[in-house]
A = this chain, B = another copy of it.
């Protein structure tokens, strides 16, 4: 049989992502990860300074999966594609996705979508400052929407018909009629439709606020 592939940063990070996808974050221990690579936990420390560095590398792999749209499209269409691709990556790696909020893109592959996005904004005539402001707003919406979707935020939201408060408290429904009325709508809507709605909101807001071009 062929020799075991060499232990590299990339191979370790890929194995870590596989563990996350298959077994979740609590299963990602240095010992378990090493066992999957047929090595010892301590061997990993020759390639990463600590577990945090492994998680950072996993994040770079995920960010590299975000597709950078080709040049030539409008800034709106470019932003739309990047945001949808980022959502698709998060849904493909639900257990690993929360890491994306902790580690920004660093490697060239992980930065590709950023460069493509910036380029389309600059080509549309926005100055660097406006481009940075728009980017930050889009990142905020993307990270927040990931949290909501991946953790099932509104599925567990009491306003969405989630678990009631403790018994010694008055019924929230009695005190909060508007939550009773609006709550079910939070959980009943299609997640993709909700994502698209918020994306339309952000893009419409940017169109209204970005300096005329």
Contact = CB atoms under 8 A, between A and B. Distances in A.
Given A103-B156, A118-B181, A128-B185, 9 more contacts: A111-B172, A128-B181, A132-B182, A133-B189, A133-B198, A136-B154, A143-B148, A201-B202, A201-B208
Interface string A170-195: 10100110110111111001000010
B170 A201 contact: no
Interface string A125-168: 00011011111110111111101100101101111001101100
A101 B147 contact: yes
A158 B104 contact: yes
B208 A136 contact: no
7 contacts: A106-B163, A122-B178, A131-B185, A143-B148, A201-B205, A203-B205, A208-B208
A35 interface: no
Task: Choose among A108, A122, A129, A163 the residue with the greatest number of B CB atoms under 10 Å from its CB.
Answer: A108
B197 A137 contact: yes
B108 A176 contact: yes
